[in-house]
Amino acid sequence: MAAITAAMVKELRERTGLGMMECKKALVESNGDVDAAIEELRKSSGLKAAKKAGRTAAEGVALIKVADDKSKALILEVNSETDFVARDENFLGFANEVLNVAFDTDATDVAALMAGDLEAKREALVQKIGENISVRRLIKVEGTVVGGYVHSNNKIASVVALTGATEDVARDVAMHVAAVNPRVGKPDDMPAEELEKEKEIIRAQPDMEGKPAEIVEKMVGGRIKKFLAENSLVEQAFVKNPDQTVGQLIKSAGADLIGFVRLEVGEGIEKEQVDFAAEVAAAAGISKA
């Protein structure tokens, strides 16, 4: 049995908004697995959704470069240890150089891209700044018309590819992607295993108890339809005009969606939580009560 820590309970409370004892019980039953606890809480309490874990480790920037003819774009993530360094002109200069070299050489493999001169520059910058710096992700997107959007703090970048339309339309859709973070482009793109998991969660919710099987399946079908609409880009209400879906916007421009990419700096990287008071006290040889 895994030890249930206060930090685990705190994370689960922050992500679900549920009470301390309910969260602690769910963690005990899931043997300390926060994601499994969330799944069980969604079944037992009717919890609609949970926030994503906030423990993203890396700072840095997400950048894009779009071809002059709008036929392709590159989206890049470069990480630093602190946000202070992520705003440093030397760091930003290096990140933009990596992007430009990758674009000019049509590179998509980070390891191959960094094998030569860029790696030497990265190492020199690490020595100068005193923080680890890494080039994490590089993705190429192609289409008839490609548009990109970078949030003002360089923490979120997105690129959308369409079969037609104008760059402004593609950029507007990319802005929506950055803001709303859809899981898939179209309902049919949702992985079957995710749909089955969602159906299992819906069937286990309290308001399904005691209902005939055919009623349960009808209700499941309705909620799955809503789930797909909420999580599919083309079905979502467009952020700049909620009376119109993104799909309607694209169709009105005489185009169709090819695909999209969205990068958020540090997503999926766990960051060590540092107790700075304890760290300072330890360095000074003082015990922290």
Q: What is the pLDDT of residue 276?
A: 45
Mean pLDDT of 190-195: 92
Rounded to whole angstroms, how far apart are CA atoms 187 and 91? 39
Least confident of 85-94, 117-126, 272-281: 272-281
Q: Could you give the percent of the chain with pLDDT greater than 90?
A: 57
According to DSSP, the residues that pair with 60 across neighbouring strands are 79
Rounded to whole angstroms, how far apart are CA atoms 234 and 128? 46
Least confident of 84-88, 169-173, 211-215, 247-251: 211-215
Rounded to whole angstroms, how far apart are CA atoms 17 and 20? 9
Find how far residue 281's CA is from the centre of its chain.
Answer: 36
Place 13 in a pLDDT band, splitting at 50, 70 and 90: confident
Mean pLDDT of 258-269: 90
pTM over 0.95: no
Q: Could you give the percent of the chain with pLDDT greater than 70?
A: 89
Q: What is the pLDDT of residue 136?
A: 92
Place 281 in a pLDDT band, splitting at 50, 70 and 90: low
User: Which of helix, strand or coil describes residue 28?
Assistant: helix
Query: Does the structure show a pLDDT above 90 at 211?
Result: no
Pairwise pLDDT comparison (202 vs 42), residue with the higher score: 202
Query: So where are the chain's domains?
Result: 1-54, 59-185+252-264
Pairwise pLDDT comparison (171 vs 203), residue with the higher score: 171
The residues near 161 (Cβ < 8 Å, ≥ 6 apart) are 141, 142, 143, 144, 145, 146, 170, 257, 258, 259, 260
Q: What is the pLDDT of residues 98-142, one digit of tens each?
A: 999 999 999 999 999 998 899 999 989 988 888 888 999 999 999
Q: What is the pLDDT of residues 231-250, one digit of tens each?
A: 999 999 999 999 999 999 99
Place 57 in a pLDDT band, splitting at 50, 70 and 90: very low
Pairwise pLDDT comparison (247 vs 11), residue with the higher score: 247
How many Cβ atoms from other residues are within 10 Å of residue 235's Cβ?
20
3.40.50.2300, 3.30.479.20, 3.30.930.10, 2.40.30.10: CATH of 59-185+252-264: 3.30.479.20
Query: Does the structure show a pLDDT above 50 at 55?
Result: no
Tell the CATH superfamily of the 1-54 domain.
Answer: Ubiquitin-associated (UBA) domain (1.10.8.10)
Mean pLDDT of 40-48: 75
Query: Does the structure show a pLDDT above 60 at 56?
Result: no
Q: What is the pLDDT of residue 241?
A: 96
Of 174, 145, 140, nearest to 157 by C-alpha is 174
Query: Does the structure show a pLDDT above 80 at 14?
Result: no
